[in-house]
A and B are shown apart, each in its own frame.
Chain A
Amino acid sequence: MLRSSVWLLRASVVSAYLFLASLPFIYALRRLAFVTGHTPFEALMRFDEVYGGAEALTYTLLEASVSAMLTVLLGLPIAWCLGRYEWKNARGLRALFSVPFVMPAIVAAMGFLLLTNSESALFQIGIDLRTETGVIGELARLTGWDHPGHFIALVFAHAWFNLSLMIRFVEPTLARLNPAWEEQLTLLGQGKTRFGRLRHLWWPVLGPAVLCAASLSFLFSFTSFALVKWLSPFNNTLESLMATYGGSAGIEGYRVDTSEIVMSASMIQFLILLFALYMTSSMQQRHSTRFSLVSEGNARSLRGRPPPGAKIIVYAGVVFAMAPLLTALIASFKVRKGNFGSGFSYDWSLEGWSAAWSGDLATMGIGDALANSLLYALCTLCVALPTGWFLASTIHALEKEKRFKTAKALDVLTLLPLAVSAVMVGLGVLLGVLRLMPELFQWGYLPVVPHVILTTPFVVRVMLPAIRSVETKWIEQAQVLNLNRYQTWYHGHFSFVRGPAVVASSLTLAFSLGEFGASWLLVRAGSWDTLSVVVDQLMSRPKFDPLVQPAAMAAATVLMAITFLLFLVAERFRHEGEGGGF
């Protein structure tokens, strides 16, 4: 009886979530189908006729593939070094590497623009990625490649963004791997050479994790919008194409061409991302396969302190991860001085911070905006964490019941919101709310809805491996101790997933704090502006006033600091060796 009630509850939660997650997409799709008169299949077939579609698809596939490869190239050595040696402050290092992943894209874009402007170190050594003079200009001229500098900046920004994926997936496996395996393999014929060890040990052990991180990097680079808009202004990705034309999509009898663009592009994107998500899910399942693992501490202490080479790699990685953010911090204190037309100098001052705090240059000060952001983030957490946890535990329960196909289907379905364009979610929420309950528009917490839709998949991804790793015998052992039902659950289950739950919470809060698209696509009423919206407002203002730029950077710095703190907290709760995907 209890068992069937539990399954009934599981079915209800799963249905409610899938309904909430898929409804905006279905609403948007059916409206677009109505406006254009095309079925989704027809829209897909007509993609090559869409204005700018073919170019956007080519560019998207190219930048996403190169970004994913670059993420592996840059992230793998860092994860390797971080995972194999005993670092003094591994938690702090992990937190530092995690910060880029949850940075609002607009902050990241500003950081990279600062790193590539005419006063940057890169520019001084002749690498001009922005205005494409010097070596980069020569590269463009010789190869006929339009705007290589922008492309390079974009893929590095994507790799920076996704660096933590590689570290979070690969590093824990390495850290916990029994060193005896490597020693034993070295003694065998197959492991005598480096290639042999790579083929027979490292690839089987790390391959799924690397591919999983790479496919997620591909996915996030594929759906990138703000970074493309700022760093690669001459090119569109499918997402930026949809964002550009999405405003007038879905309106009957008006600008039907934009509906065609959004519908065709979203269908292509959906199919490609669904495939990428399927790969991610499969790889993550293989990644969760248990190897002979030992305690992280033991494995690390057996290998000892990092050699100089490892230190160089990890600290270079830290510099790469922190450079755009530190540049933004420094820029918050730099105020332009001088006369127009006769050159400028810069003074160091707190005026930018003061302007950001007072809110004179935006709809509100950073204090109020932060309060709004935190409120949204907490509300998002209250819904997304239990929902994601419950979904993950349902997937695991299905696996335990040997209903693997259903488990797999649900696993992929929970990732569905990541395959749907933010433009489609925005349009779908707008249409759905209009149809079902228009008064919701006056409800200040409406942006929480898309935040929940977009963050729940991450909770599932963090909690699922953790729940899978909880062994039944631990609950059985707790039962032997004559504890009541809740104590048994607490000691036999919860205490083993508490760490990942904190990680999932931090991730949810950070994503919600930095989330820009969904709050931006819905209704933008001044009194509900969040910190990321205030950053955007400031960045969009004409820069005659020398305080605009430092004020924007001050607001971005607050966002960065909060995010970093959240990850530092998460790291303190993360059990040793818990990767959990993030």
Chain B
Amino acid sequence: MKAAFVMVLIVLFGAPLAGCIEQTDSTEECVVLPAGHADDGVLRILTYDITALSDALTDEFTNNTGIEVEMIKVDDAGGILDQMMLTKEAQQADLMIGLDNTYLPTAIANCLLQAYDASAENISSSASSFYDGPLALPFDQGDVCLNYDEDALSEANMSVPTSLEQLTGEEWKGKVAFPSPVTSSPGRAFLVASVEYFDQQGNADAMAWWTDMVDNDAIITTGWTEAYETHYTGGYGEYTEGYIGDAWMTVSYCHSPGVEAYYAENYTHSTSLVLDHASFHQIEYAGIINGAAQIDGANQFMEFLLSNEVNVNMPENNLMYSVLEGTDLPETNGYRYHADVPSAVTTMTYEEIEENMDNWLDAWKTATEQA
């Protein structure tokens, strides 16, 4: 037992001494860093499981340019930021694809991106409105909002809610699933939407609503996948092993019902709840990582991603809207018909998100833990 005891003492009291020698400078100015890895001619892309970045697409890019592509995949948009933060002193990728507008301000504030030199034309105002600086280019977009199961409401003889407050009522007890904003990108987006929604109501407090929702047995999941596939009754979760189907409403995209219809031969019983200011216009970006080695390749890939041939196919290949002006969802299988467009999305600016996101997350944790 003595051996184990000594080991415990070493860990408890010895390890922190080692921590003292760790030094970083948190007040640095943004400068372009030297390459964090050797340039071996391979373009390394840090991304999550974005379906648009298929083997066929990267093969086409390689055939066109002669540049090999290697994907470094993490869980989600948050994972991209985490990975860039952790490997800041020696970045291992050249290009990031997938940070959304709830994460982009943090990435820029932490000097994780460097200016691109890719030319991109015809980007829609909805995609460039949030950020149109030199460090990141939008490549897809969509509105995050609540989705609900029409059949379930109809069977329960319930009316469609006309406000978020109604979801705290008894009939919605245990019937709403939210991906946690702490660990999920759509969860974050909806948190921002909820803050603005209640701001618009005057003195109403979004965090009080979150407390009420948790009191009403709202289901909080780690990620969007668990909320949508495991809990939501309106989506394709019913074809998924492990499906529980205990939530009639969840957070997804306003066009998710269209995606359901597109894949399910124009069949869906899911629709979106388009309340004013309760939707967040999510934009996903590509940007060159500060510390990249293959800067030329990264610029070429950004141009390729923003090219008409590739980007116009975002709805089919990535289940998101294209960022190019004049594009829309395809009509195939009712994709466009079932996709809702909110009339008033959040108007949170880059600065507001940069300044408040950490506070909102802390407040959300307190609100949901108090419940």
Contact = CB atoms under 8 A, between A and B. Distances in A.
Contacts of B3: 405, 408-409, 412-413
Contacts of A526: 55, 70-71, 73
Interface stretch (B126-134, B157-165, B221-229, B271-279): B221-229
A405 B11 contact: no
Given A33-B19, A230-B242, A527-B70, A278 B4 contact: yes
Nearest to B262: A544
A101 B22 CA distance: 40
A44 B16 CA distance: 13
Contacts, number: 175
B15 A275 contact: no
B8 A33 contact: no
A278 B242 contact: no
B230 A233 contact: yes
Nearest to B3: A409
Interface stretch (B79-87, B117-125, B190-198, B346-354): B79-87
Contacts of A545: 263
Interface string B286-303: 000000000000000000
Contact of B79 (A117, A247, A408): A247
Contact of A542 (B12, B72, B90, B263): B263
A412 B241 contact: no
Contacts of B369: 51-52
Interface string B15-54: 1101100101010000000001110100010000100000
Contact of A113 (B8, B87, B242, B246): B242
Interface in B76-127: 78-79, 81-82, 85-87, 89-90, 92, 106, 110
Interface stretch (A61-69, A85-93, A184-192, A251-259): A251-259
Given A34-B22, A523-B92, A40 B239 contact: no
Contacts of A258: 182
A117 B238 CA distance: 11
A486 interface: no
B330 interface: no
A131 B263 contact: no
A151 to B, nearest CB: 14
Contacts of B236: 542-544
Interface in B281-323: none
Interface in A337-375: 339-341, 363
Nearest to B21: A30
A341 B13 contact: no
Given A26-B18, A363-B55, A439-B38, A544 B365 contact: no
A441 interface: yes
B152 to A, nearest CB: 14
B11 A40 contact: yes
Nearest to A149: B244
Contact of B78 (A234, A247, A442, A537): A247
Chain A interface, >50% SS class: helix
Interface in A95-152: 109-110, 113-114, 117, 130-131
Nearest to B151: A341
A36 to B, nearest CB: 10
A540 interface: yes
Interface in A507-521: none
A298 interface: no
A526 B50 CA distance: 13
A540 B225 CA distance: 8
Contact of A34 (B19, B73, B82, B246): B19
B75 interface: yes
B40 A524 contact: no
Interface residues of B, number: 69
B264 A544 contact: yes
Interface in A259-282: 267, 270-271, 274-275, 277-278
B170 interface: no
A257 B365 contact: yes
A44 B13 CA distance: 12
B241 A31 contact: no
Contacts of B89: 434, 438
A244 B110 contact: no
B24 A252 contact: yes
A250 interface: yes
Contacts of A271: 8
A257 B366 CA distance: 12
Nearest to A110: B241
B7 interface: yes
A252 B27 CA distance: 12
A341 B267 contact: yes
B154 interface: no
A275 B24 CA distance: 36
B12 A438 contact: no
B147 to A, nearest CB: 14
A40 B236 CA distance: 45
Contact of A30 (B15, B75, B79): B15
B217 to A, nearest CB: 10
A524 B30 CA distance: 28
A430 B81 CA distance: 15
Contacts of B92: 438, 441-442, 523
A233 B4 contact: no
B355 interface: no
Contacts of B7: 274, 412-413, 416
Nearest to A520: B75
A336 interface: yes
A30 B16 contact: yes
Nearest to B180: A244
Given A113-B242, A441-B92, A442-B40, A33 B16 contact: yes
B362 interface: yes
A67 B90 CA distance: 43
A39 B16 contact: yes
A241 to B, nearest CB: 10
A248 interface: yes
A525 B47 CA distance: 10
B244 A244 contact: no
Contacts of B36: 438
A29 interface: yes
Given A233-B230, A245-B183, A405-B3, A29 B85 contact: no
A283 to B, nearest CB: 14
A281 to B, nearest CB: 9
Contact of B70 (A248, A413, A439, A525): A525
B73 A248 contact: no
B203 interface: no
A107 to B, nearest CB: 12
A183 B73 CA distance: 63
B265 interface: yes
Contacts of A267: 11-12
A525 B12 CA distance: 36
B272 to A, nearest CB: 18
B343 interface: no
B171 to A, nearest CB: 19
B82 A251 contact: yes
A233 B221 contact: yes
Contacts of A113: 241-242
Contact of A251 (B40, B85, B239): B85
26 contacts: A26-B15, A29-B15, A30-B22, A39-B16, A40-B12, A233-B226, A233-B244, A248-B78, A248-B85, A254-B110, A258-B182, A277-B4, A339-B265, A339-B267, A438-B87, A442-B38, A442-B40, A523-B72, A524-B73, A525-B72, A526-B55, A527-B70, A540-B49, A542-B236, A542-B263, A543-B240
Interface of B: 1-4, 6-8, 11-13, 15-16, 18-19, 22, 24, 26, 36-38, 40, 44, 49, 55, 70-75, 78-79, 81-82, 85-87, 89-90, 92, 106, 110, 182-183, 219, 221-222, 225-226, 229-230, 236, 239-246, 263-265, 267, 269, 358, 362, 365, 369
Given A39-B15, A40-B16, A341-B267, 8 more contacts: A26-B18, A230-B242, A233-B242, A405-B2, A412-B7, A523-B72, A525-B71, A542-B229
